[in-house]
Structure formats: structure tokens, C-alpha cells
Amino acid sequence: MRVWFLSAGLALMCMAQNAAAGTVLIVGDSISAAFGLDTRQGWVSLLEQRLKAEGFDDKVINASISGDTSAGGQARLPALLAAHKPELVILELGGNDGLRGQPPTQLQQNLAAMIDSSRASGAKVLLLGMQLPPNYGRRYTDAFARVYSTLAEEKQVPLVPFFLKDIGGVPGMMQGDGLHPSVAAQGKLLENVWPTLKPLL
């Protein structure tokens, strides 16, 4: 009888763990796609390892595409939500919008639409903020950076203010092109995200 109770208890625990397990969907660009690296070295792969190490059963779907813009992400998102039914959506987009000089207002509209559609599907949202180098001019870089803080306040979504904090411009942290984080930076990318991400799991 005692063995039966133990077996039943273990089964219930497993069922509870499986019920708690969810899907994390990452919609990003080359930074999350680990451009120039083996994807196993990227911060998303490190996130999967961290989740396992800390006892989380969440599945990670990396739907990031190098070169993608907020408009591209918005266009792809409905199918991704329908296919994966995530509990959490991480939005890491905007860098390519800025590098192409696209209007910050358009970036804000696209990200706002992605936040709304993610929430409508029942998912939480985490927004990863980006900043541009100063050579784009202060007026534009300030307007670009404000997009993320404005959305976080208006939509009440958790925000990592600057995903590349302590990486951009730091020797050894960027690849030769000066645009993409190196292998050495991937752990720092995860550390920049983890404190805000963990409470959402």
C-alpha cells in the first residue's frame, strides 16, 4: 500500500510539473539568431541550459531571423503564436529598424501590435530594449531609445532597458563587424535578461 501511495504521489508531482511547463517564444533578429556563431554558443542556447539547471521545464522556441525588422516580426508573429501557443513571448527587435533609419514611430506601432497580439493569445511579454550608436545623431537615437521605455510604461510590460548593456563598444565583446556580439558576450546577454525573465516563468 505504501508503495502505491509513493507511486501515485510521484505521478501527481510529474503531472503538476508538466502542467506548469510552458513555451517561451523568442522573436528577434541576428542577435538572438547568433549571427556569425554556432547557434549552440548563442545566448538562447545558454538560456535553455539555464532553465534546465534551475529546474524549469519550459521549452524555448527561437524564431529569430538575422536582418529581421519589427515589421517582419509583426508579419510572422500570428503564425508563430498559433503554432506554438507560448506562455511567454520575448521581443528582441528594432536594431535593424534603427540601422536603416526607419521612423521610431513606426517601430513603436509595430512593437505595440506585437505586444497586443501576444497578450490576446494569452501570453506574457518581455521587451528587450535597444540603443543606437551616437553617429546616428542625438535626436534620432534619443527618439529610438524612448520607444522601448514608452511602450513599457503604456503597455505595462517588463523591459530590459538595453539588451547590449556592457557589451557594445567593449573590447572583445563584439565581432569584427562591430555590430554583432561575440562568443564572449553571449553569457552577458543572458545575464542582462535573466533577472527580468525569471519571474515571468
Average pLDDT value for the chain:
92
Query: Is the pTM of the predicted complex or chain greater than 0.85?
Result: yes
State residue 88's pLDDT score.
98
Homologous superfamily of domain range 23-200: SGNH hydrolase (3.40.50.1110)
Q: What band does 17 get if pLDDT is binned at 50, 70 and 90?
A: very low
pLDDT in tens, 30-66: 999 999 999 999 999 999 999 999 999 999 999 999 9
Q: What band does 20 get if pLDDT is binned at 50, 70 and 90?
A: low
Torsion of CA 59, 147, 33, 195, to 10 degrees: -50
The residue whose grid cell reads 511567454 is 88
**Cα–Cα nearest to 183, from 167, 163, 199, 160:** 167
Instruction: Report which secondary-structure segment, H or E, holds 74.
Output: helix 70-84
What is the bridge-based pairing of β-strands 124-128 and 88-92? Answer: parallel
Residue 143 has, within 13 A of its CA and on its CB side, a CA count of: 15
177 in catalytic set: yes
Q: Which residue in 29, 30, 32, 121 is the catalytic one?
A: 30
**32 or 10, which is more confident:** 32
Q: Where are the domains of the chain?
A: 23-200
Number of H helices, E strands in the chain: 7, 5
For residue 10, pLDDT beyond 50: no
7 in catalytic set: no
Q: Which residue in 32, 142, 180, 182 is the catalytic one?
A: 180
Q: What band does 21 get if pLDDT is binned at 50, 70 and 90?
A: confident
**For residues 138 and 146, is the Cβ–Cβ distance under 8 A?**
no
180 in catalytic set: yes
Percent of the chain at pLDDT > 90 equals: 88
State residue 169's pLDDT score.
85
State residue 13's pLDDT score.
46
Average pLDDT over residues 101-129: 98
